[in-house]
Chains A and B, each alone.
Chain A
Amino acid sequence: MKALRYAAKGYDAVLYGMAYVAGFLMAAMMTVIFIDVVLRNLGYQSSAHFFTFTEYGLLVIPCLGAPWLVREKGHIYVEILLMYLKPRWRRLVTQAIGALCVAVCAILAWYASGVTLNDLLQNEKDVRSLDMPRWMVSGFIPLSFAMMALEFLRFLVRGENFLAPIAEEL
């Protein structure tokens, strides 16, 4: 039981740690682009890797932040049907939606793992300003979807609603 608690704590640390890294990358992206523009306008040769770093950052940031967004109930959804349902039905529909979310994320995590594994075994390169081993970037996708599936599952198992509260009245 104690081991399970530690595992849960460790998992939470990873989840929030990933979100912190995503925030840091966003700030780093701003800094890098600013430096790039300043250097270019001062007549210096800036690094082409700045550009590549930013492009990869655009994929990595949402991948690192997505599981945290599920935890924070930050996903937008349309309330139209749920708002008019009786509490019992609303709970049932919400659970069904939760199950669908788990399934969708798990399927994508599974196939994305296959893509990453293939990238690793085939030694695929993403050719930009540098020959980046593709698995090092694509690997964030299965990680993200797998953790999102876990997060949705966590809400389902605990019987909690994973959607932000519905507006009080029409």
Chain B
Amino acid sequence: MAWYWGTLILFGLGVGLMMVGVPVAIAFFATNIVAAVLFMGGANGIVQVINNGFGAMTNFALVPIPMFLLMGELYYHTGLASRMFNAIDKLMGNVPGRLAYVTVAGGTGFAALSGSSMGSTALLGSLMVPEMMRRGYSKYLSLGPIMGTGGLAVIIPPSALAVLLATLGRIDVGDLLVAGVIPGLVLSSMYVALIFVWTLVAPDSAPGYAVASVSLREKLWLIAVDVVPMFLVIVLCIGAMVAGWATPTEAAAIGCVGVIALAACFRCLGWRAFKKSLDGALRVTVMAFLIIFGSATFSQILAFTGASSGLIRWATGFELAPLAMLLVMLGVILFLGCFMDQLSMMLLTAPIFFPLAQTLHFDLIWFGLIMLLGLEIGYTTPPFGLLLFVLKGVAPRGTTMRDIYLAGMPFIACVLLLITLIIAFPPIATWLPRISH
């Protein structure tokens, strides 16, 4: 069978089943079963699916996924996140659009500590949107920064998605995590600049209001007690990796213990919070791992049928410039991002895109980061970006999906601008991993 038939059957069936509404993990398994019967010798092929899953799951490189998820859930359920938000809120002072800045600053911190875009958006949405609406902020300025900063969790380490992408692309997990630091900070600075221009051009979108003044001493106290310790956990996490005390996979568990120790110091670590955190982390872990179970065979069948090499030969046969190829790949991710969740997109595209990027002699860390940014945009693109629905769930009544779609647009533009910058100046992504070696 020609490679394109294999490709058509694999992708057609997988994407078709997902679009119909079959749970993503089951869609992968169903595709694997059909492909195993067609291409891998029937029953033996299905046995191979099981054995591949066994091998793929018992892999130490996957440890950061449950650990980072647990870390974020602990940070949220113990109330440490709210504590940091309140501190930043008081520290911000009386600037136009202060609540939008609080969202970006607090959201960046939460993204760094949680590694979960959906958790970040849910927290920011329920905390900040009602307050901003009450203060007369325009609905677009109330909703937009939340989706923007929610997506930051994809690139700012620790990020569970980055670990998974690095595993799929067979690149260094630590390098990809560290590569996200500078672009993440650049992106949150862009958001700050956007809000500044926004409030300058349309001052009515963020009416000023009197804020209780906070003395310098109080401010210093807030920084020392409620902000610095939270960031120490990130420093501990990244520092342990860079100093060589722990591997990137182990650093995730250290971050978890760090958050637990912090919560214990603040006397907010209860059994209830711990149980809720385990519950939340377990849900996403099980979901992600079931998809990984299926994906091991999916990429093997892609290779076995010649679909991977055929697609790469076909794509490179056009002799497009590497930049044009990169844009095509990014376009595919952005298109899929309108309909699919990040995990499924990654598992469908990584087995093809990474070998293709290697053929084109791209720096794979640089490429991985661009892919992550593409995935981040997919969180907020209509009609089915996951964050749109998370925000809809926590936004006040009367907020329509159209409001949410429009509010996210300027922030999507910022991510696209960042991607352009990274393409033009690769050291934005590659400098930090290089010096950390």
Contact = CB atoms under 8 A, between A and B. Distances in A.
Contacts of A81: 19-21
Contact of B26 (A29, A58, A94, A100): A100
A interface bracket (residues with beta carbon within 8 Å of B): 35 or more
A104 B30 contact: yes
Given A26-B278, A69-B287, A169-B401, A138 B22 contact: no
Contacts of A127: none
B105 to A, nearest CB: 29
A33 B53 CA distance: 23
Given A37-B246, A137-B58, A69 B341 contact: no
Contacts of B286: 22, 61-62, 65-66, 68-69, 74
A34 B47 CA distance: 36
Contact of B25 (A34, A41, A75): A75
Interface in A43-95: 51, 54-56, 58-59, 61-62, 65-66, 68-69, 72, 74-82, 93-94
B425 interface: no
Interface stretch (B121-129, B250-258, B414-422): B250-258
A11 to B, nearest CB: 19
Contacts of B275: 23
A33 B19 contact: no
Contacts of A97: 20-23
A133 interface: no
Counting chain A CB atoms within 10 Å of each CB, which of B54, B59, B246 scores highest? B54
A141 interface: yes
A78 B340 contact: yes
A37 B340 CA distance: 38
A15 interface: no
A38 to B, nearest CB: 9
Contact of B46 (A30, A108, A169): A108
Given A29-B253, A81-B19, A94-B21, A54 B50 contact: no
Interface residues of B, number: 61
A83 B285 CA distance: 27
B219 interface: no
B283 A69 contact: yes
Interface in A132-157: 137-138, 141
Interface in A93-125: 93-94, 97, 100-101, 104-105, 107-108, 111-112, 114-115
Contacts of A26: 66, 70, 278, 281-282, 285
A111 B50 contact: yes
